[in-house]
Amino acid sequence: MKPGTDNTAQDVIIVSGRSGGGKSTALNALEDFGYYCIDNLPGAMLPYFGPQMAANPELYRKVALGIDARSRESSLQVVLEWMASLREAGIECKLLFVTAEKPVLIKRFSETRRRHPLTGSDKVLSDAIDSEQKLLEPLHQQADQVIDTSNSNIHQLRHQVWKFVDQRSSSLTIVLQSFAFKAGVPQDVDFMFDARILPNPYWEDGLRELTGKDEAVRSWLEKDANVLKMTRDIEQFMSTWLPAFKETQRSYVTIGIGCTGGKHRSVYLAEKLAVALAKANENVQVHHREIPS
């Protein structure tokens, strides 16, 4: 990386930690958040990876690199020096260290029967864990955040990683989809609301060929108190529960709104709700299955 270049949009997270602590789970969580993840990258390779990042800022806009004890002591020092150079170049760079207590690590390796990377002919598991702790201590001391997974499950670890990245960078996409029940119910919706109980503009002269996007249809529907009440109730319900979906790291929530023909009532509701939900959510999309986009 060359200092002085405009790299403010790039974001790098180094993920390290003790084997069995949950480093792979942390990387998987970051991958779900849009990070380009590379695991077990040798520390000595980092100076060569920097120019690749600089040459491909879009591809490497968000990068997470997994570094473990196999890099050895000399390479781990390179990691710290490389991170310092990124920060000097104006790139956001953080170090996340994932660990667990020794008895927990021993239990995990015993249960999975996986080999610790530092075990060998001269080291049993307990000694390998101790050696790794000593080897990784410089990274542990320099970490922006240490996550101890001794008493955490996978889902809790993912949530902690999400918090580390920063809640504001995790974007939930909300899709409002109108559809016609007579054409079949969409299979990919998380919530479904039925607007067939509302008055139908299809039976009104001059409104049949229009859609819920037209002012004449909107004005006609809004004369009915139940239309306004349903709109308000759905908005309040979704506004209450969408934050909970963000907490569980969902990327998409699809809200299906159906009516008989999928052109009037459901379209109107989807459009109105999109405007209302966009006040508190960054990414709200609308899709009308039965009418041209």
Residue pLDDT, tens place only, 159-214:
788 778 864 455 688 999 999 999 999 887 899 999 999 999 999 999 999 999 99
- Whether residue 99 is found in the same domain as residue 198: no
Q: What is the CATH number for 73?
A: 3.40.50.300
- Whether residue 165 is found in the same domain as residue 179: no
**Position 69 in a domain:** yes
Is this prediction's pTM over 0.95? no
How far lies 255's CA from each of 212, 269, 279, 286, 288, in Å?
17, 11, 17, 10, 12
pLDDT band for 143, please (50, 70, 90 cuts).
Answer: very high
- Whether residue 75 is found in the same domain as residue 123: yes
Under 8 Å CB-to-CB from 243, ≥6 apart: which residues? none
- Whether residue 142 is found in the same domain as residue 227: no
Domain boundary residue among 115, 141, 169?
A: 169
**Position 3 in a domain:** no
Q: Which domain holds residue 251?
A: 173-288
Is it the case that residue 155 has pLDDT exceeding 80? no
> What is the distance between the alpha carbons of residues 77 and 258, in angstroms, rounded to a whole number?
59
**Exposed / middle / buried, residue 261 (Cβ in 10 Å: 0-12, 13-18, 19+):** buried
**Position 90 in a domain:** yes
Q: What is the pLDDT of residues 79-123, one digit of tens each?
A: 888 999 888 888 888 999 999 999 999 999 888 888 888 887 677
How many domains is the chain partitioned into structurally?
2
How far lies 65's CA from each of 42, 132, 191, 222, in Å?
10, 19, 36, 54
> What is the distance between the alpha carbons of residues 124 and 97, in angstroms, rounded to a whole number?
24
- Whether residue 243 is found in the same domain as residue 229: yes
Q: What is the mean pLDDT of the chain?
A: 87
- Whether residue 186 is found in the same domain as residue 271: yes
- Whether residue 156 is found in the same domain as residue 204: no
| Contact criterion met (CB below 8 Å) for 281 and 172 | yes
> What is the distance between the alpha carbons of residues 259 and 266, in angstroms, rounded to a whole number?
5
190 or 158, which is more confident?
Answer: 190
Lowest mean pLDDT among 25-29, 93-97, 247-251: 247-251
Cα atoms in the 13 Å half-sphere on the side-chain side of 231: 22
What is the per-residue pLDDT for 73?
61
> What is the distance between the alpha carbons of residues 88 and 103, in angstroms, rounded to a whole number?
39
